[in-house]
Amino acid sequence: MKPRVYLIVALLLIPLQASLFGPLSLGGAAPDLGLAVLYCVGLLTGPIEGSLAGIAIGLTQDLGSASLIGFSGFTRGLVGLFTGLLGRRVLDIQSPSNIIFLFVISLVDSLFSALFLEITYGSVPVFGLFFGRAILRAATTAVTGYGILRLMTGKNVLAWIRRRELQKES
C-alpha cells in the first residue's frame, strides 16, 4: 500500500479507537484496533511493509497519547515484522488459528509494555495488569482482528492485493 494510505489509516485509528471502541470495552478493556489492523496488514503484505506500517501506526499512537514517542513505534514495528514473517511462512490467512496468534501477540505486547514501565518507573503491578486487563484486551483484540480479516477476505481484498503484487512484479 502507498505511504499516504498508511498515514490516513494511522491517523483515523486514534479517533476510531478512542471514540468508537471506548464504549465497546469489556471490563474496562477495549480492543486494540491498531494492533488488530496491523496484524492484518502484516499478514497480507509481508515483513518489510508490515514493520513499516507498524512503525507508522505506533508512532501516530505515541503522538496521540501520553506515552514516550517511539515506544509504540518500536513495539508495533516488531509486531508488524513478526506477523509479516508469520504470514509468509506459517499462517493461512483465512484460518481461525489467527485468533490464537493475535491473542498471544496482544498479550506479549501488553506484557512488554508493563515490564518496560516497571523498569522505567517502578512499582507497576505487572501481574495485576496482566490478569486484570491484558487478557481481556487480548481476547477482544483477537476477535476484532479476526473479524477484520474475515471482512477483508470476504470482500475480495486479498485478490486485489495479490493482483497488485503481480502487476508490480511484472
The residue assigned the cell 518496560 is: 116
The answer to the question of residue 124 lying near another protein (CB under 8 A) is yes
**Length in residues, the chain:** 170
Asked if 138 and 107 count as a contact pair (C-beta separation under 8 A), the reply is yes
Residues within window 43-102 making contact with another protein, judged by CB under 8 A: 48, 51-52, 55, 60-61, 63-74, 77-78, 81
The answer to the question of residue 113 lying near another protein (CB under 8 A) is yes
In the complex with another protein, which residue's Cβ is closer, 25 or 97? 25
Which one of 99, 116, 135, 136 is in contact with another protein (CB under 8 A)?
A: 116
Nearest to 97 by CA among 43, 23, 167: 43
**Piece of the chain touching another protein by CB under 8 A; list 16-24, 93-101, 144-152, 154-162:** 16-24
Minimal distance, residue 159 CB to another protein, in Å: 25
Residue 48 CB: number of other CB atoms within 10 A?
Answer: 11
DSSP-based three-state secondary structure for 50? helix
Longest dimension (CA), the chain: 56
Residue 30 CB: number of other CB atoms within 10 A?
Answer: 20
Contacting residues toward another protein, per CB under 8 A: 11-12, 14-23, 25, 28-30, 32, 48, 51-52, 55, 60-61, 63-74, 77-78, 81, 109-110, 113-114, 116-117, 120-121, 123-125, 128-129, 132-134, 137
